Amino acid sequence: MHDFPDAKAVVRALSPDEAVILNRPHAAARAARFFTEKFPGTAMYAVKANPSPDLLRILWAEGVTHYDVASIGEVRMVRETLPEAKLCFMHPVKTSSAITEAYNVHGVRTFSLDTMEELEKIVQATQSDAGEPAQDLQLLVRLRVSSEHSELSLAAKFGVDLADAAPLLQATRQYCDALGICFHVGSQAMTPFAYVQALERVRAAIAEAAVTVDIIDVGGGFPSVYPDLDPPALEDYFQQIHHHFEALPISYSAELWAEPGRALCAEYSSLIVKVEKRRGDELYINDGAYGALFDAAHVDWRFPVVALEDDLTQPLAEFSFYGPTCDDADYMKGPFMLPADIQAGDFIEIGMLGAYGAAMQTRFNGFGASVAAIVHDEPMASLYRGDRQRPQSDNVVSLR
């Protein structure tokens, strides 16, 4: 992999006609250290956010030992990359064959579920040849919680409703060595109150079920910094989570887990694109909706941008992007703030693409970034440098 000081050096050296992914190992390592040192429990990386083996090895080197895998493909890849890692199969709907392979071949003992049917599937798929139930399972029941405080909802697809949680928790307790409750407040949670609200729902579920709970997994949702999305400091999230975890009616030795994805890898990558055409305030670039800019097109995510030409002198103006494919849907409305005199042939760096950027790429129409480089400058925004003005959180202590 090429190695450069920054994006401008990449452009000077390569003058690339295809988009180039820039990776910053130091930024990912710093994020991992932050979570391993400051989160008051176990930080379990959500592999779906960016499954790069290089990134996984960086996180492992900085003390991230648990990995949230969502498919047998992720199980196989992470196990091959990190033979000693603890893998947790946290997708609530799995095939029986995937469960069996994960358990018998890859040593997975932790599974999530949100229905009686999935519980039965896990129990049957992990039983011995003699038909004896497994004695070493960690089973986490996923509880449906609100996503109202997050930019992207994850409340519709998975999770047992609070009204139905008690029978499922009671049944699951019979088949596991450790019982857990997990939830997901949605992606890019913009206030610690999202977790406070969810943990109050956990409290109600435990009280109704009257079971001993050994693991509380607060899931993902930890934010990063984007244009118009400036969250409170992550320390505020950690403080509120710890406070409300400590107040739950759980086992004295209960463990606290989290599943950061975006927060661990967003700062890892950015992207160099080339302007192929300008039409008014629309720029035609060589990556887009079917490449690393999936979120910019499909959920109108705004990413920070900077022009890489030194001779652009006009003030910043609002632009939208068209990607390189033949599809009208290959459109990103932004607005993306760039010098008003930017033209075809100029290069742009698009930042904060380490999460769900390279991971979402396709090769539709034959386009897509295929070149990657390591750079050593700072990401366009960071939660971890120590130079950020800490926005105030709502400082919620309790709902009661």
Question: Given a cut of 70, is residue 185 above it in pLDDT?
Answer: yes
DSSP state letters, 278-312: EETTEEEES--TTTTTHHHHHS-----EEE--TT-
State yes or no: pLDDT of 75 exceeds 70.
yes
The answer to whether 394 touches 192, Cβ cutoff 8 Å, is yes
- As a whole number, mean pLDDT of residues 189-216 equals 97
Mean pLDDT of the residues in the chain: 94
pLDDT tens-digit profile of 203-222? 999 999 999 999 999 999 99
* pLDDT tens for each residue of 167-178: 999 999 999 999
Task: Report the pLDDT value the prediction gives residue 400, as an integer from 0 to 100.
Answer: 43
Q: Which domains does the chain have, with CATH numbers?
A: 2-22+269-375 (2.40.37.10), 40-259 (3.20.20.10)
Please tell me the distance from the alpha carbon of residue 322 to that of residue 343, in angstroms, as a whole number: 14
Mean pLDDT across the stretch 331-336?
95
pLDDT band at 399 (very low <50, low <70, confident <90, very high): very low
pLDDT tops 80 at residue 390 = no
Query: What local confidence, expressed as pLDDT, does residue 159 receive?
Result: 94
Angle at 201 between CA 198 and CA 203, to 5 degrees: 115
Q: In sequence order, what are the residues at sequence separation of 6 or more whose Cβ sits closer than 8 angstroms to the Cβ of residue 199?
A: 216, 218, 241, 244, 245, 248
Other CB atoms closer than 10 Å to residue 156's CB: what's the count? 8
Residues above pLDDT 90, as percent of the chain: 86
Per the model's pLDDT, the better-predicted residue between 129 and 71 turns out to be 71
Q: Looking at residue 203, what is its pLDDT?
A: 97
Binned at pLDDT 50, 70 and 90, residue 17 comes out as very high
How many degrees, rounded to 5, is the angle at CA 16 between CA 14 and CA 22? Answer: 80
Report the pLDDT averaged over residues 152-166: 90
Q: Which of 111-125, 177-191, 300-314, 360-374 has the lowest mean pLDDT?
A: 360-374
CA distance 30 to 261: 14
> In angstroms, how far is CA 214 from the centroid of its own chain?
24
The answer, yes or no, to whether residue 26 has pLDDT greater than 70, is yes
Give the pLDDT band (50/70/90) at residue 387: confident
Share of the chain above pLDDT 70, in %: 96
